[in-house]
Structure formats: C-alpha cells, structure tokens
C-alpha cells in the first residue's frame, strides 16, 4: 500500500514514511493510493472480536510496510485494560433506535486518546524502520483536548520528547490542570501569555526558525508535529467504526430495526478527522448508511454540505463545545480528493482559492455525491444546553457539550425525515470534562471554582467521575512555567535532553 498527496504529487511513499513526514511537499495531505475493500466474509469475521483484534485487522490493511509483529506490538501497548478502563469503544443503548458510541474511556477522557494512544507507537516504529537517527521532538500548540491527549500518548514512549504550549487565557480549568500535572520523563509543558493564536504562532515560528532547527540537528534532534493531518492519527480512527458496526450487527439491530441493513452515524465535527474516518470505513465496506455531520455555531460545514460552497469568511464564535470551534476543517481536503476521483490538480486549485479568498465552490458532481452520502446540521449553545437537559431527564444519560450538539442534530434530522435505520451517536468527550457547562444545563448551581464543578456534577447526577479526572484539584502542579512568546525557544532548549 503506497500513499500519494491530495494535491497531485505521486510520491508513492510507504506508510511509515508518511507517518514520519506528516504533510506532503506540495502542501497536500497523504492518502492511500487505493482504499482497501473488505469482503463480506472479512467483515462478518470481525463480529465479536476484541478491540485489539479489530485494530490489528484494520491496521494490517493500511500499514503495508509494518510487519505483523510490529502492528501487534503497537496495538498491545496502546489499547490496554488499564488505559481504557470502561472498554475502548462501547455502545450504550440510549433508546430503541439509538446507541451512543463512547470514545472517551481513555486516559484523558476525550476521544483524541483513541488515536493518540496508538500514533506515538506507530511513529516510533516508523522511525526505527527507516533508520532515522536522533530524537524526535514533538511540539504541540493546543487549545485544549489535544495537548493532554498527546502528552499521555507520548509519555515515556521511546526516543521521543514532547513539549506542549497552551494559551494562558484560553483553556478550561480542568484542561489546564490536566496538563500542568502531567507526569513522565520526556514531557515539557508551559503556558504562553495570550490566546490560542499566540500559542499557535509561537509554535509555527519555532518550526520555521532555521537557526533553531540547525542547533537542534547539532544535538541530533529534530522537530515533528502530532496534529490531525498526519495519517498516523487518522488511521486509528477507522478502527472504531468497524468495531461499532460489528457491535450493532451482533445485537441484531441492523435487520430488526425495519432498516435496510445499514446504520446511520452522527459525528460531532471540527477538523473533519473523525467523520472522515467514518467515510473511509464506509468505503471499505462497513454497513454504514448516512454520515450525519454535526457542527456548532461555527457552521461552515453545514453550509458546505448543503450548498457546495465552502466559505470561511464569517465571524469565529466561541462556544461551549470549543473543540469544534474551527473555521478551516483541514481533513475535508482528503474527502474532496476522493470525491473528485483523485484529481490532485483540481484539489490544489480549491485549496489555493481557500488560501486566497477564504472560499471555494465544488463541482456539481461532487455536490451530488456529498448530498447522497452526508446529512448536515448545526446546533447553537442554547440548543446544546436544552439537549443535555432533555436527554438527562428523558433517558437518564449524561451528554457532554460536543456530543449534545450531535444528539440535537440527529434528533432534528429524524424529525425532518426518518430513515428508519438504527443510528450511532458518536460521543467524543466525558461530560466531566466540560462539567461547568453540563451542570448549568441541568439547572444546578455552579460551585465557586471551575475545578469544583467535577465533584459537583457527580453529586448532582450520582454518577462516578472517570479515573482521569478524579482528584484533579489535589494533584501537585509540576509544570508551572508561564512564558512570553519570545521566551519559548530558550525554554524549549533548556528542557530538551540530548539523545544518548
């Protein structure tokens, strides 16, 4: 299996090389030259398999230059009963025709763990396979969930160091405490004065600093990123869609529910990574019907799927589902490449237009395919609060703000036109991660400190706090540095340990 760029360059690189490289030289994203298709027999064989077994099978289809033993080792290290206490991706029944796919049982209680527990292992294996010498320094700017998930994923993994910069003003109290209490011998964390853009620009300027990179090279180190455009972060997400479909099939819900043997899947969407993985699973032959793309008030994708016009020229809105506050969904480029029949020149044109004018319009043929495969909707903060309240009262199930957006969109879709199919609602975060907003949605009083909301939510609902968020207020802060942007280089140099 070789990989090519969405903008036309046909490198024909192996999986391990694209995981090391991240982004193609022409600015495009790497995709498999051909999407592998499963036989019905292969899919049926996944029913009843463990998450680890499902993972090995799916990864085997994409990581052509990894040996069976290498894949086994990566999977065994990532998906352990200790890291995923409540199971990797259980489906909890919400009502007769909806199940919630809970993807937040990992160490940081957000779905990014599903990819970031595995990706560091894929990267370390790739570096070794290609005999890349020296130490990789993973540098991340985060607005919240990614930073903590990356820290946990890379903590004490191989010859890698990880440094995370988060905006001093711009992450929740829970997220901040999760990061500043991070353990591990190869981790560094600091706050950058300012907002997310300041942190992001700091990181970008370090990546672009020739002098700094040269000094690193003299110490036998090099910078790399762990963001969601790396194929190594996308491929782990395909696994849970097969695992989900196998669970639904095993419970007899595909046939029983007066449906046509397919399941609809509703995904709370930001950078389009999660729902793109669902698209790949469908193309590979998983019995998936409609892909329902749910956005918050930053509803660029809703408009795009409905009209074929992608237009980021609009106000950025800060919402209670911050991980979906995105106006440029990078991974959409991969979908458009597939729908255009691998027309790299055409995709390069669209992306040029996005960079220049902040918008593009797709062809009628792509528009047709979009409306055939996708349904889209959005939900604002008021709707999010109402939905959390409704589902708790009616079903006794607690949604986080991101999942509530999706739940509301799914509900609205069904009122417009019910497909009759069973639907899987993809849940991307534990409600305890966004405890203050969930508490106020339930009409409960907010405690004085934001961190106190976690305990308060448990007291109000009688539900246990997940392991990763228990006792957070009492954990010692071990990363207290607060930097001005211009101090970040020096800070990073001081933190890095030269390879042995």
Ligand X SMILES: *Cc1c(COP(=O)(O)O)cnc(C)c1O
Active site residues: 112
Residues 194, 168: contact at Cβ < 8 Å?
Answer: yes
186 binds ligand X (CB under 6 A): no
Question: Which residues 312-371 are close enough to bind ligand X by CB under 6 A?
Answer: 323-324
145 binds ligand X (CB under 6 A): yes
Work out which of 129, 367, 402, 411 binds ligand X, going by CB under 6 A.
402
- Name the token pair of 273: 């990574």
Give the span between the Cα atoms of 443 and 178, in whole angstroms: 26
Residues 96, 130: contact at Cβ < 8 Å?
Answer: no
**Based on CB atoms, which residue is closest to ligand X, 242 or 346?**
242
Q: Of the listed pieces 6-14, 53-61, 104-112, 194-202, which binds ligand X according to CB under 6 A? A: 104-112
407 binds ligand X (CB under 6 A): no
**Based on CB atoms, which residue is closest to ligand X, 37 or 317?**
317
Question: Which residues 254-313 are close enough to bind ligand X by CB under 6 A?
Answer: 268-274
- Name the token pair of 211: 């002098």
Size of the site for ligand X (CB under 6 A): 17
Work out which of 19, 265, 376, 429 binds ligand X, going by CB under 6 A.
429
Query: Do β-strands 288-295 and 135-141 pair in parallel, antiparallel, or remain unpaired?
Result: unpaired
375 binds ligand X (CB under 6 A): no
Q: How far is the CB of 114 from ligand X (least distance, A)?
A: 10
**Based on CB atoms, which residue is closest to ligand X, 332 or 488?**
332
**Based on CB atoms, which residue is closest to ligand X, 16 or 142?**
142
Residues 334, 308: contact at Cβ < 8 Å?
Answer: no
Task: Please spell the DSSP secondary structure of 370-410, one letter per residue.
Answer: HHHHEEEEE--HHHHHHHHHHHHHHH--PPPHHHHHHHHHH
Q: How far is the CB of 228 from ligand X (least distance, A)?
A: 6
Work out which of 18, 20, 110, 239 binds ligand X, going by CB under 6 A.
110
192 binds ligand X (CB under 6 A): no
Give the span between the Cα atoms of 31 and 2, in whole angstroms: 9
Work out which of 56, 105, 112, 290 binds ligand X, going by CB under 6 A.
112
Convert residues 447-476 into a mask of x (bound to ligand X by CB under 6 A) and - (unbound): ------------------------------
**Based on CB atoms, which residue is closest to ligand X, 322 or 344?**
322
Residues with Cβ within 8 Å of 447's Cβ and at least 6 positions away in sequence, in order, are: 453, 455, 456
Residues 182, 189: contact at Cβ < 8 Å?
Answer: yes
Give the span between the Cα atoms of 422 and 288, in whole angstroms: 10
**DSSP E strand stretches across 404-460:** 423-427
Residues 273, 331: contact at Cβ < 8 Å?
Answer: yes
**Based on CB atoms, which residue is closest to ligand X, 272 or 392?**
272
Give residues in contact with ligand X (CB under 6 A): 110-112, 145, 228, 268-274, 323-324, 402, 428-429
């Amino acid at each position: 299996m070789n990989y090519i760029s969405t903008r036309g360059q046909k490198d024909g690189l192996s999986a391990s090389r694209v995981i090391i490289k991240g982004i193609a030289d022409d600015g495009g994203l790497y995709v498999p030259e051909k999407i592998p298709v499963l036989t019905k027999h292969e899919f049926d064989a996944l029913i009843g398999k463990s998450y680890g077994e499902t993972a090995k099978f799916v990864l085997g289809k994409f990581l052509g230059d990894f040996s069976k033993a290498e894949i086994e080792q990566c999977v065994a290290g990532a998906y352990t009963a200790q890291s995923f206490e409540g199971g990797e991706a259980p489906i909890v029944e919400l009502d007769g025709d909806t199940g919630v796919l809970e993807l937040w049982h990992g160490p940081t209680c957000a779905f990014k763990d599903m990819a970031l527990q595995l990706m560091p292992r894929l990267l370390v294996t790739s570096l070794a396979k290609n005999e890349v010498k020296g130490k990789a320094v993973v540098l991340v700017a985060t607005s919240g969930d990614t930073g903590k998930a990356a820290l946990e994923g890379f903590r004490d993994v191989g010859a890698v160091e990880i440094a995370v910069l988060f905006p001093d003003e711009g992450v929740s109290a829970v997220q901040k405490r999760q990061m500043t209490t991070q353990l591990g011998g190869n981790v560094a964390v600091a706050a950058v004065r300012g907002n997310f853009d300041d942190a992001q620009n700091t990181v970008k300027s370090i990546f672009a600093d020739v002098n700094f990179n040269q000094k690193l090279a003299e110490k036998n180190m090099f910078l790399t990123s762990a963001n969601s455009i790396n194929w190594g972060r996308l491929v782990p997400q395909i696994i849970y869609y097969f695992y989900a479909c196998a669970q639904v099939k095993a419970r007899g819900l595909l046939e029983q529910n007066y449906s046509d043997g397919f399941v609809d899947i509703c995904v709370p969407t930001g950078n389009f990574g999660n729902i793109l993985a669902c698209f790949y699973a469908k193309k590979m032959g998983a019995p998936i019907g409609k892909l329902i793309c749910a956005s918050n008030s930053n509803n660029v994708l809703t408009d795009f799927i409905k009209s074929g016009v992608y237009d980021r020229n609009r106000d950025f809105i800060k919402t209670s589902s911050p991980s979906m506050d995105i106006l440029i969904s990078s991974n959409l480029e991969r979908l458009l490449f597939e729908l255009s029949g691998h027309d790299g020149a055409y995709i390069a044109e669209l992306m040029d237009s996005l960079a220049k004018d902040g918008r593009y319009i797709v062809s009628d043929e792509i528009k047709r395919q979009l409306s055939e495969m996708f349904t889209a909707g959005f939900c604002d903060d008021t709707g999010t609060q109402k939905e959390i309240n409704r589902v708790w009262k009616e079903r006794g199930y607690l949604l986080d703000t991101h999942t509530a957006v999706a739940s509301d969109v799914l509900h609205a879709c069904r009122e417009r036109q019910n497909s009759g199919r069973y639907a899987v609602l993809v849940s991307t975060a534990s409600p305890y991660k966004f405890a203050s907003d969930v508490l106020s949605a339930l009409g409960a009083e907010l405690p004085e400190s934001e961190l106190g909301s976690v305990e308060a939510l448990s007291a109000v609902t009688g539900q246990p706090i997940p392991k990763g968020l228990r006792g957070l207020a009492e954990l010692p802060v071990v990363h207290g540095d607060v930097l001005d942007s211009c101090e970040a280089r020096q800070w990073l140099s001081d933190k890095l340990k030269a390879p042995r």
